[in-house]
Structure 1
Amino acid sequence: MKSIDLTPLYRSSVGFDRLASLIDSALTTDTSASGYPPYNIEVCEDNQYAITLAVAGFTQAELDIQVEKGVLTVRGTKGAKDDGQYLFQGIANRTFERKFNLADYVEVTGADLSNGLLTIDLVKEIPEAMKPKTIAINHRGNVLEHTAKEDINKGDKAA
């Protein structure tokens, strides 16, 4: 696989180091990585998201969810293996680890395990200091123009 040089991004931008390293890690990720467990990422509302993982056969005690440095990690650890005799075993009950990179200001607000689906709720809460704000425009210039015109008119009447 050919690697892409992201050095030009670092030269012409400030503060986007995380974005460039995210792109770099996405490009260098092992493409043979397992697709287990399957998952969905859903946009619920403007700033609310949900990640749903199909974790059939896992109990709540066998699942672990952690967030560290903007990375959400979901782990499933199976206990002792069932030594039953199967004619066919299509349900994957293997240990897994799935990671999701979270954008700035995205926080995990909760998780729910129901009917073999683990749903993790996320919300993007932009701090007040980062939100756009409307700046009022003063009308002093118009007031001064109006006053100047009145002065001119008063001068004409006086003459």
Structure 2
Amino acid sequence: MRNFDLAPLYRSAIGFDRLFNLLESNQNQSNSGYPPYNVDLVSENHYRITIAVAGFAQGELEIYAQDNVLIVRGTHPEEKSERKYLYQGITERNFERKFQLAEHIVVRDARLENGLLNIDLERIIPDEAKPRRIEIMN
């Protein structure tokens, strides 16, 4: 992937620091693609993230939401394996996935079913942020 110098934009754009920091962090973040995941639009304000976590028990998975970032971690207990693989195609490594959430997105539910971790999200727009009709006075 190409690296872009965003320094000139810092000089001419005011109030976009967070956006530029996000772009830079995504550039520097090497994402191995493990574990694979899907992001579905369930309905207008409902989303679902599905992560393939085969081999992880429920107690080995952690989900945190903080500062508009959803963090999903999978950690296997440290055990010495006596196995001698002839071929190992199933990875057993720990992982951490981060998802940047938009404003007003909350985590509603998380379920582990058949090796898939489903995380349901909902956009809840507060009343003061919703459009309102203004009556014109005579």
Runs of at least 4 residues off by over 6 Å? none
The residue type paired with residue 69 of structure 1 is D
**Matched residues in 2 for 1:10 and 1:135: separation?**
38
Q: Map of 1:10-25 to 2, 5 A cutoff? A: 11-14=12-15, 16-25=16-25
1:78 and 1:61, CA in 2 relative to 1: closer, same or farther beyond 3 A? same
The residue type paired with residue 75 of structure 1 is R
Identity of aligned residues (%): 46
State the shift of 1:86 in Å.
Answer: 3.0
Task: Give the stretch that moved more between structures: 60-69 or 80-89.
Answer: 80-89
State the shift of 1:110 in Å.
Answer: 1.1
Structure 1 match to 2:49: 51
Contact 1:10 1:17 in 2 (8 A): no
State the shift of 1:34 in Å.
Answer: 1.4
| Structure (1 or 2) with the larger CA radius of gyration | 1
Contact 1:110 1:122 in 2 (8 A): yes
Q: Which SS does the other structure have where 2:135 is aligned?
A: coil
**Matched residues in 1 for 2:38 and 2:80: separation?**
28
Contact 2:6 2:20 in 1 (8 A): no
The residue type paired with residue 116 of structure 1 is G
**Matched residues in 2 for 1:56 and 1:2: separation?**
34
1:95 and 1:12, CA in 2 relative to 1: closer, same or farther beyond 3 A? closer
TM (norm. structure 2) is: 0.86
**Matched residues in 2 for 1:36 and 1:97: separation?**
9
TM (norm. structure 1) is: 0.76
1:81 and 1:48, CA in 2 relative to 1: closer, same or farther beyond 3 A? farther
- Provide the alpha-carbon RMSD of the alignment: 1.9
**Matched residues in 1 for 2:11 and 2:99: separation?**
24
**Matched residues in 1 for 2:101 and 2:11: separation?**
21
Contact 1:6 1:24 in 2 (8 A): no
Contact 2:39 2:50 in 1 (8 A): yes
Contact 2:111 2:119 in 1 (8 A): yes
Which residue of 29, 33, 38 corresponds with 1:35?
Answer: 33
Listed one character per residue, the Cα deviations across residues 13-70 of structure 1 (whole Å, up to 9, x for unaligned) are 44x432232223223323xx31110000111111111110000010000001111111
* Runs of 5+ consecutive residues of structure 1 not aligned to the other structure: 141-159
**Matched residues in 1 for 2:116 and 2:8: separation?**
41
Structure 2 match to 1:149: none
